[in-house]
Structure 1
């Protein structure tokens, strides 16, 4: 884990880490030097030697200033190193999230991902800011002071460290038992956060259908489990820490008692005895703080495990030598696919979509229409067969290149809590203001936008809060115009809008699909009469294929669906 975390740091982060540790060493040594200087001055005074108080004041003042400056530099550097690590990990996670298949988001709950991005990544700052800089500096200081004290009197030095191995072994046993309890507590926390997210999102439904009691029981149970596991973790930590602290205090007491005996019998000078009593406190400091370092380590190790699980999850793999398409016809060749935990299965799906034509996918719910579009976008990977654009397998294309050639306009429009301009700009982040406005005009939404008090700079709520369904759809169409991709995937988007918006959307869509390869999921069959091709799906199988007139003449599944409407 330590090596992996170090690899995440940039050269600047490592530099800040080293600077912080070194200045913490200087800070601690300055504190010890101040105490020893005072002790030395007292000893000289007792022995009747003359002392220059001005020189002593200058020395003590200089040490105090150096100590203050060192602490400020060390504290600042440790946070810079910590922020560097957090920034790098968050950046990697954000980039990785884009590379996952849709199946990952089905298996991984959003609450768990949110916990990793926020709580677990923040915990990693603790590694650099507290666990490494402070601990490494404390042990360097302990080593320097330990060598110095052994040089003063090796017998007292041995007495000082006699019980430390026993104490450290005790702590090690406590660490092993505490890590399992902490892991259980963190897993329960992730479950609880996920349920809270689900609860907040589902409050409107729970209120309408009176399901609050059922969900409340699940939530109470999750909170109770987290509470019990947290108590167990705290209980184990308290017992282990208490035992370890007692042994450290016993080590100091043993040294102080034996040293007093030797001093009493003249085998050790008072000055040397007092030096051990004062300086040993700094020597024991890293061992006293081991319990806090241990608690931080457990927390960080558990967090790093979840971060690694996220970063190491399988992604959509790019080919070493990606290919590009010269034309944009589509072909599904013997495609077979099934979900992991569902009965749905697609077998030997084969069809072609000519370039610059419109192909409609129809069928009952669960027949495989959305699965076809998801496979084309590589949200899922087929288990058999291939999907080709312009004769090239999409797995042989760079994934960003593939997505760059496809625009998606679906019923459930995703809008962000940002300005209208930036929401349209999702289609092309390098677009100018003029291009954004032109896309909005073609999507029949420009007049509405400029009627708003702040125009294109108007901020909308999450998922377009404050906009009607038709307005959201037209913003989505504006994105597609701005992207200007040769392939368009449509989920029939006029089924839930009023007549006025439906008319504007149909006008915008007519312009959008012109001279493009279009694959549309159709719900209202009357709207696809003019499609160049209609593919009828049933339980993952292609059962009919042809134009509206051809399928109507067959009197098969398509006719049954048509008559139902």
Structure 2
């Protein structure tokens, strides 16, 4: 059933199937070389068996077997050579195909980059790149190539045996047919459901692990780290149990396969003893030849059951690729007009709802107004919806219902121009492997060196950069490792200052910094951004007194709002959080 499903998926496939015709010559060569590999292996043993028998029957015959000796040498050399060439050709074909597949996937993702994450989580994209493309590689290397080569060899053997004995050819047709068709089908039926379960568990583990690693700090700060570890261990335990069931079945099936090969060898011995009678010499020399040629063929037929049961995961991988948008779909060349936002920019959030696909509603009914120049802190535990709100504010996601507007202009209508209005500093500002100057000019490519030095002075890094070996021309190590965490955050702030956006979104920018560095970074931020609107998403309260207003989001709704002083005097929940943050609880 899974094979039928795979064939149906391939029939309507627009991702993988095109490469079959694009590289058909290389594919045909790989299959032919694969057949020659096993042909040489079988012919080597066949010829060796004949040579040994002929030479042993009458020692003087060694002078009469020159041709078999030469053939033994030829087949002995041919087998590894053809094996190497087959591997080289097949892997070259697969790598060409998967490189094109990755390029096509990148192009599809890039076209919808802004809103792609609304329908696909980070773990889903990583799953496509890491898991599904590997499955497509294995579809050819482990299933299609071995299966087609084995079928060609199967037909060749039956036709060859039919030349000597039609009834024994039918016997081999049945025995080899069990290995070629029955055992693979049995593997699909028995292990198919287990593999389906295993696949879903792996995808779930991959996605949840990615989400949890990206948000590990929230787990820690919410004091639920042990809960995360326990849940992860439970998923791994369930996955190991399914893996063990599949391995147990594989061992029993492989043992049966070896028994069938033993039966084939015995059958060949009995048939050749009847077909080529004699005590020694003459026709009896062919007995060892026929029997010994069976053993190299094990390598051709043995992988088929394992390859067949992989077809289910291949089918799903192909289906996931074909569910993506078409790479060559028409994209309007006309750029939509982008509304202009002028004057002091205020933010209005009205009846905001958001729900991820196949997930619960993260935000529901959020109403909020943020006037220009307000310093707003948004608190909330992990999963409360504050990071989703930040993504909606940047326009990375579209609301399920409601709106976010800047001076009555929806953020979703601003497209790429949103970066002219909202600057973002996140948890781990990235510094590229280029000069300090280029890293800071990322905020404004046309900025002069004088402007760069000015913003460096504002963020307190002018002296540090001036002391570098080449000043602004100093190369930054990969990921900015030569700079401390606080310095990287200040460099990110320098970028924002060059960009000069009216609104600054601080998405937990001080996670991982020690308290002293964190306090210094926050003081720098709020000092140089004094005339900006600041939206600070945070998990704790250090520096909270510098804010004009504090919000608390819980289960997608606002549950607390006020100035830091008001909340500290009147709100018990805020007092409790403040006590925890100050180490008094």
Whether the TM-score (by the shorter chain) exceeds 0.5 is: yes
Aligned to 2:83: 71
Q: How does 1:4-23 map to 2 (within 5 A)?
A: 4=13, 6-7=16-17, 9=19, 16-23=26-33
Q: Is the 8 A contact 2:373 2:534 kept in 1?
A: yes
Aligned to 2:477: 459
Q: Is the 8 A contact 1:188 1:226 kept in 2?
A: yes
Aligned to 2:396: 379
Aligned to 2:145: 133
> What CA distance in whole angstroms lies between the structure 2 residues aligned with 1:213 and 1:119?
28
Matched residue SS, 1:408: strand
Aligned to 2:36: 26
Aligned to 2:493: 477
Matched residue SS, 1:163: helix
TM-score for the superposition, normalised by structure 1: 0.68
Aligned to 1:490: 505
> What CA distance in whole angstroms lies between the structure 1 residues aligned with 2:482 and 2:267?
69
Taking a change above 3 Å as real, the CA distance of residues 450 and 186 of structure 1, as seen in their structure-2 partners, is: farther
Q: Is the 8 A contact 2:427 2:509 kept in 1?
A: no
1:305 to 291, 316, 321: 316
Aligned to 1:174: 187
> What CA distance in whole angstroms lies between the structure 2 residues aligned with 1:494 and 1:157?
74
Q: How does 1:57-456 map to 2 (within 5 A)?
A: 60-91=72-103, 96=109, 98=113, 103=118, 108=121, 110=123, 117-118=129-130, 121-167=133-179, 168-189=181-202, 217-264=230-277, 270=284, 276-281=290-295, 286-294=300-308, 297=310, 301-302=312-313, 305=316, 309=320, 312=323, 320=332, 321-325=334-338, 327-329=340-342, 336-340=351-355, 341-342=360-361, 344-346=363-365, 358=372, 360=374, 362=376, 365=379, 373-384=390-401, 401=416, 405=420, 407-410=422-425, 412-416=426-430, 419=433, 421=435, 425=439, 428=442, 439=452, 442-444=455-457, 445-452=461-468, 456=474
> What CA distance in whole angstroms lies between the structure 1 residues aligned with 2:411 and 2:215?
37
**What is the Cα deviation at residue 424 of structure 1?**
6.6
Runs of at least 5 residues in structure 2 that lack an aligned partner in the other structure: 1-5, 538-542, 569-585
**What is the Cα deviation at residue 177 of structure 1?**
1.8
Matched residue SS, 1:457: coil
CA deviation map 1:68-109 (0-9, x unaligned): 43222222223323434444455566663945555557xx58
**What is the Cα deviation at residue 465 of structure 1?**
9.3
CA deviation map 1:117-136 (0-9, x unaligned): 44554454333333333332
**What is the Cα deviation at residue 184 of structure 1?**
2.7
**What is the Cα deviation at residue 384 of structure 1?**
4.1
Q: How does 1:506-545 map to 2 (within 5 A)?
A: 509=529, 520-521=534-535
> What CA distance in whole angstroms lies between the structure 2 residues aligned with 1:426 and 1:121?
37
Q: Is the 8 A contact 1:334 1:348 kept in 2?
A: yes
Q: Is the 8 A contact 2:352 2:364 kept in 1?
A: yes
Q: Is the 8 A contact 2:44 2:75 kept in 1?
A: yes
> What CA distance in whole angstroms lies between the structure 1 residues aligned with 2:379 and 2:545?
17
> What CA distance in whole angstroms lies between the structure 2 residues aligned with 1:369 and 1:210?
18
Which is bigger in relative contact order (C-alpha 8 A, separation at least 6)? 2
> What CA distance in whole angstroms lies between the structure 2 residues aligned with 1:559 and 1:286?
74
**What is the Cα deviation at residue 181 of structure 1?**
1.5
Taking a change above 3 Å as real, the CA distance of residues 535 and 313 of structure 1, as seen in their structure-2 partners, is: farther
> What CA distance in whole angstroms lies between the structure 1 residues aligned with 2:197 and 2:131?
16
> What CA distance in whole angstroms lies between the structure 1 residues aligned with 2:150 and 2:450?
61
**What is the Cα deviation at residue 178 of structure 1?**
0.7
> What CA distance in whole angstroms lies between the structure 1 residues aligned with 2:209 and 2:104?
26
Q: Is the 8 A contact 1:327 1:390 kept in 2?
A: no
**What is the Cα deviation at residue 490 of structure 1?**
2.8
CA deviation map 1:345-381 (0-9, x unaligned): 23788x899xxxx464758647998766533433321
- Size of the alignment, in residue pairs? 521
**What is the Cα deviation at residue 281 of structure 1?**
4.8
* RMSD value, Cα: 5.6
Runs of at least 5 residues in structure 1 that lack an aligned partner in the other structure: 543-556
Q: Is the 8 A contact 2:424 2:504 kept in 1?
A: yes
Q: Is the 8 A contact 1:417 1:461 kept in 2?
A: yes
CA deviation map 1:200-238 (0-9, x unaligned): 889999999997766665455444323322221112222
Aligned to 1:545: none
**What is the Cα deviation at residue 302 of structure 1?**
2.9
> What CA distance in whole angstroms lies between the structure 2 residues aligned with 1:10 and 1:271?
45
